Amino acid sequence: MKTLLTNIAHLATFDDAGGPAGRELTDAAVLIDGNRIIAVGKACDLAGQGDRVVDLTDHVVMPGMVNTHHHMYQNLTRVMVQDDPLFVWLKTLYPIWARLDDAAIRVSAQMAMAELIATGCTTSSDHLYILPNNCTLDTTIEVAAEMGLRFHAARGAMSRGESKGGLPPDSCVEEEDAILADAERLIGRYHDMADHAMTRIVLAPCSPFSVTPQLMKDAAALARRHHGVRLHSHIAEVLDEETYCQQIYGMRSVGFAESVGWLGPDVWFAHAIFLDDSEIRLFAETGTGATFCPSAHMRCGLGIMRAREMLDAGVTVGLGVDGSASNDTSDMFQEVRMAQFLQRVAPDRYLSAKPGGRGGFGGTPGALSAREALWMATRGGAKLLGREDIGQIAPGKSADIIAVNLNQLGFAGTERDPLAALVMCGPFKVNHSFINGVQVVDGGGFTRLDIGQALADHRATVRRIYEV
């Protein structure tokens, strides 16, 4: 069946036509056939071509956004450890996360995916690195399928507990042979490299302070034996991590990554806050990507990723909401907004700004534009995940499309540039969302989730986990 989205007030395609947002059209239309986009143009030219017509008068439309770093289970522990540094935050929460079971993984995934979809995300990765009791990655994959979210499931792992010099307690780590065996199983069962695939597997040992070098090497070797299985981890998130790597490995975290074969176009890291100039060049030269998580960086007081410099050097940068206990939301529009704004107060640029320069005096107002921030959330994220079929509205691409109604308070006075308003005047919720051609949000409501029941289940799970 063909679906025609028509009378679009402002359409940003993020295609290859030029400029961060690609072609931008008014009074536009998009024709979908099944799960693919087959035509994009003026509404008058595509009139009458759909079996089903969705009128998007007074809507701004763009590709669905791509979230490239998350820990969905953490919404069970929101607003905890509000003022302590990251390592204290982790050591406080590890024992609570050790109580999780598969039912808790299910309800937390529902909450996270619902919040992502409501705020414009159509593809997400999730880094599940703690799997106690009977927890499995299969459960988050099943929830994504139920909700219609395109999903890159990252099989995370921790194998180096306190007794072996790591940060997590021994009760939270797994045996490395079991980790690798489960990763092989997941790849065989779920990894789909076809165009428009809804599920792919990522291998994701957690961090330099929670796994061994051997696990990093073995995971890389396993991933590279299978077509399209990508590698993901944390890097340079906090200065304590750099200290740990110097003490344990005798090198910085990026040097450690290089030593275990974790640089290359199939690798992307979350955070990458403390990269120096040479490390940024190394990322660019090797094709290694990075995820900017601005809200978590601010919430945890970590620092400011050098996203502008990385983009200028040729590093692919995407966006991620990070964990719901370190953000503490799964709001993609908010993440785009924070990405733009935080790059404009980055201290190295603030201190070096000169009167009359690009940024003017006392700051860098032009450091990152709204359209560049949205590019990171669409095309940048798609590239990190190794996808050429998502992140843009163009013939042959996946029908992942979001629409936001302009008739609301936040858009008042934005008629000159409603696309920038999505970033600078929000955050907003979507009124319509199509993923793989299926409408998962209609008129602001979910079509595949009973949100009232899901909220009740989540509240009951929180009570149960804390009563253990």
Determine the Cα–Cα distance for residues 225 and 223; give it in Å rounded to an integer. Answer: 5
Do 27 and 78 meet the contact criterion of CB atoms below 8 Å apart? Answer: no
Is domain 2-64+391-436 annotated with CATH 2.60.40.10?
A: no
- SS3 of the chain: helix, strand, coil, percent, to 5: 40, 20, 40
Domain boundaries, given as residue ranges, for the chain? 2-64+391-436, 65-384
Question: Which helix (H) or strand (E) element contains residue 220?
Answer: helix 213-224
pLDDT digits (tens), the chain, 468 positions:
999 999 999 999 999 998 899 999 999 999 999 999 999 999 999 999 999 999 999 999 999 999 999 999 999 999 888 888 888 888 888 888 999 999 999 999 999 999 999 999 999 999 999 999 999 999 999 999 999 999 999 999 999 999 999 999 998 999 999 999 999 999 999 999 999 999 999 999 999 999 999 999 999 999 999 999 999 999 999 999 999 999 999 999 999 999 999 999 999 999 999 999 999 999 999 999 999 999 999 998 889 999 999 999 999 999 999 998 889 999 999 999 999 999 998 766 544 444 443 433 334 667 899 999 999 999 999 999 999 999 999 999 999 999 999 999 999 999 999 999 999 998 899 999 999 999 999 999 999 999 999 999 999 999 998 875
**Three-state DSSP class for 145?**
helix
Do 169 and 94 meet the contact criterion of CB atoms below 8 Å apart? Answer: yes
Q: How many helices (H) and strands (E) does the chain have?
A: 17, 17
Would you state the pLDDT for residue 85?
Answer: 80
Do 290 and 272 meet the contact criterion of CB atoms below 8 Å apart? Answer: yes
Those residues whose C-beta lies under 8 Å from the C-beta of residue 422, and which sit 6 or more positions away, are 60, 62, 333, 336, 370, 374, 404, 428
Q: What is the dihedral of CA 248, 250, 256, 260, to 10 degrees?
A: -80
Those residues whose C-beta lies under 8 Å from the C-beta of residue 102, and which sit 6 or more positions away, are 133, 134, 135, 136, 139
97-111 pLDDT tens trace: 999 999 999 999 999
Question: Which helix (H) or strand (E) element contains residue 370?
Answer: helix 370-375
Would you state the pLDDT for residue 230?
Answer: 98
Determine the Cα–Cα distance for residues 69 and 213; give it in Å rounded to an integer. Answer: 22
Tell me the CATH number of domain 65-384, given options 3.30.70.1380, 3.20.20.140, 3.50.50.60, 3.40.1440.60. Answer: 3.20.20.140
Do 3 and 29 meet the contact criterion of CB atoms below 8 Å apart? Answer: no
Strand partners, 204: 156
Would you state the pLDDT for residue 365?
Answer: 62
Sign of CA dihedral 449, 452, 458, 461: negative
